[in-house]
Amino acid sequence: MSALSPSLTHELIQAAYFIAALLFIVGLKRMSSPKGARGGIVWAGVGMLIASLITFLWPGMRNDILILVAIFIGGVAAWWSGKRVSMTAMPQMVALYNGMGGGAAAAIACQELVRGRPIAGAPAVLAVTGAIIGAVSFSGSLIAFAKLQGLIGKSLRYGAQQAVNSVMLLATLALGGWIVALHGAAPLWMVSAFFALALLVGILITLPIGGADMPVVISLYNACTGLAVAFEGFVLANAAMIIAGMVVGAAGTLLTQLMAKAMNRSLANVLFSNFGEVSVQGEEVSGALKPIDTPDAAVMLAYAQKVIVVPGYGMAVAQAQHKIWELCQLLIDRGVTVRFAIHPVAGRMPGHMNVLLAEAGVPYDLIGDLEEINGEFETADVALIIGANDVVNPVARTDKSSPIYGMPILNADRAKNVIVIKRGKGAGFSGIENALFYLDNTRMLYGDAQKAGAELIQAVKALD
């Protein structure tokens, strides 16, 4: 390779980056469908391999051994974690990996700013902007990981929090502007303080956000990571980074908007409100919770013509997806029509329930999203709710004083009968009671979802 002329080397690198970028786009497109997702990951992985290998031809490239060592360590860590981490832990794994992308973009900016080479004009602005976005995405994603992993409990809130966050952000922007004014040739202490402030901003913004808002937060930081990578790609004149970053940033932005819309909340409300952490009261819920025994629930399910299953975060916590699918297979063998209804923000990351159901082996054609399946609840004999709460609360349609008013919900209340598997009587993340649980056609089956699923399986088998 060293015998190639500089011009030919440059053309080869650019061609390889263009091919890698195309593979990224094809991979992302295939990931939009469950059937093509596995292949999409392979396509994108091949693109990343090409982009990584061709980088060694970059003129003036040094530290090849260190780069190879880093690739080896990262590859082994990714392989090990991919094999070891359970599907129920995917949200925190996605948050962690996303944070690594933002951190890598920030590290590139840091290297450009501390090397002492003047950067003027647009490259300086993009380097500093990418550094801020990447650092915020990195530290914010780590906090999201810690929350989802249970390492951080209750969301941290205190008086004048938004004012403090605003001051920290303004200080970061001011220091970044100063670095740009110095054409990127700022002293080490200034660059260090700049990155420390940017990392602190990410921490302070994310700490107050409740775990139930993580689908939106993860999507947002995914968009930020892509944007930071694209900016640093401009600084390095790296076409692959520019295209890949822009694609990821655009996809993350659209997904963030989808998640926020599915909760009928603005992004600002997710990031800056006290939603779910304060006592909120809507209209008083009348009626009483009516428990049901496992044998009676089994009879109701076994002799139904159509059952729609609504999984939620409680199913993920209990890791009950395999037992629930085993139960559904028994019902299908008895001639019962079974469908799964997925709300966009059910769980703790976009597509969380789809991932769990796919791991359990549930066929894709049995799974319907909110718009597709909502009209079928009126024809269902039983709606089986597993650990879902606010996404099936009918007050979202009727109570204008409710914090979830206007949020699109699954119409589980319109089924002939509703069975709710729930560990206790607590409210959802919105802090309000679920009116669905008090309806005359609803029965509560209390207990851990996995244990309840196993008991239902035995009860249905006993009916034969």
Among 204, 237, 272, where does a domain finish? 272
| Residue 81 pLDDT | 86
| Residue 373 pLDDT | 94
| pLDDT tens, residue by residue, 145-170 | 888 887 886 667 777 778 888 899 99
Higher-scoring residue by pLDDT: 279, 158: 158
| pLDDT tens, residue by residue, 436-457 | 999 999 999 998 999 999 999 9
Structural domain contains residue 84: yes
| Residue 380 pLDDT | 95
Structural domain contains residue 287: no
Same domain, yes or no, for 354 and 457?
yes
| Residue 1 pLDDT | 45
Structural domain contains residue 125: yes
Least confident span in 232-241, 258-267, 372-381: 258-267
Same domain, yes or no, for 352 and 260?
no
Structural domain contains residue 182: yes
Q: How confident is the model at residue 7 (pLDDT cuts 50, 70, 90)?
A: confident
Question: Is residue 430 pLDDT above 60, yes or no?
Answer: no
Count CA atoms closer than 13 A to 148's CA, side-chain side: 28
Q: Which range of residues forms the domain containing residue 317?
A: 294-461
Same domain, yes or no, for 267 and 298?
no
| pLDDT tens, residue by residue, 166-202 | 899 999 999 999 988 887 678 889 999 999 999 999 9
| pLDDT tens, residue by residue, 39-76 | 888 998 899 889 888 888 777 667 778 888 988 998 89
Same domain, yes or no, for 258 and 298?
no
Same domain, yes or no, for 186 and 51?
yes
Same domain, yes or no, for 338 and 260?
no
Task: List the CATH number of the domain containing 396.
Answer: 3.40.50.1220
| Residue 3 pLDDT | 58
Same domain, yes or no, for 327 and 421?
yes
Q: How confident is the model at residue 268 (pLDDT cuts 50, 70, 90)?
A: confident
| pLDDT tens, residue by residue, 70-93 | 889 988 988 888 888 877 777 888
Least confident span in 32-36, 134-138, 247-251, 287-291: 32-36
Structural domain contains residue 69: yes
Cα radius of gyration rounded to whole Å, the chain: 25
Q: How confident is the model at residue 337 (pLDDT cuts 50, 70, 90)?
A: very high
| Residue 212 pLDDT | 64
Structural domain contains residue 286: no
Q: What percent of the chain has pLDDT over 90?
A: 36
What is the set of active-site residues?
Answer: 390
H or E stretch covering 245: helix 239-262
How large is the average pLDDT for residues 289-294? 91
If one counts every other C-beta atom within 10 angstroms of the C-beta of residue 168, the result is: 17
Same domain, yes or no, for 402 and 263?
no
Same domain, yes or no, for 220 and 335?
no
Q: How confident is the model at residue 428 (pLDDT cuts 50, 70, 90)?
A: low
Contacts 24+ apart (CB under 8 A), 352-359: 352/90, 352/91, 352/215, 352/313, 352/316, 353/311, 353/312, 353/315, 353/316, 354/34, 355/87, 355/90, 356/87, 356/88, 356/311, 356/315, 356/316, 356/321, 357/311, 357/321, 357/325, 358/34, 359/87, 359/321
Same domain, yes or no, for 218 and 359?
no
Structural domain contains residue 300: yes
Structural domain contains residue 285: no
Q: How confident is the model at residue 278 (pLDDT cuts 50, 70, 90)?
A: very low
How large is the average pLDDT for residues 111-139? 86
Among 215, 240, 272, where does a domain finish? 272
Q: With contact defined as beta carbons under 8 Å apart, do 399 and 362 qualify? A: no
Question: Is residue 281 pLDDT above 80, yes or no?
Answer: no
Among 211, 240, 272, where does a domain finish? 272
| Residue 279 pLDDT | 43
Same domain, yes or no, for 265 and 301?
no
How large is the average pLDDT for residues 328-347? 93
Of the candidates 323, 215, 195, the residue with the CA atom closest to the CA atom of residue 259 = 215
Question: Is residue 324 pLDDT above 80, yes or no?
Answer: yes
Of the candidates 208, 98, 63, the residue with the CA atom closest to the CA atom of residue 147 = 208
Question: Is residue 2 pLDDT above 60, yes or no?
Answer: no
Angle at which helix 6-30 crosses helix 239-262, to 10 degrees, equals: 20
- Residue 192 makes CB contacts below 8 A (sequence gap 6+) with none
Give, in degrees to the nearest 5, the angle at Cα 112 between 239 and 235.
25
Question: Is residue 280 pLDDT above 70, yes or no?
Answer: no
Same domain, yes or no, for 35 and 165?
yes
Provide the domain count of the chain: 2
- Indicate the pTM of the whole model: 0.79
At 400, phi and psi to the nearest 5? -70, -15
Q: What is the secondary structure of 363-387 as a DSSP string?
A: -GGGEEEHHHHGGGGGG-SEEEEES
Mean pLDDT over the full length of the chain:
85
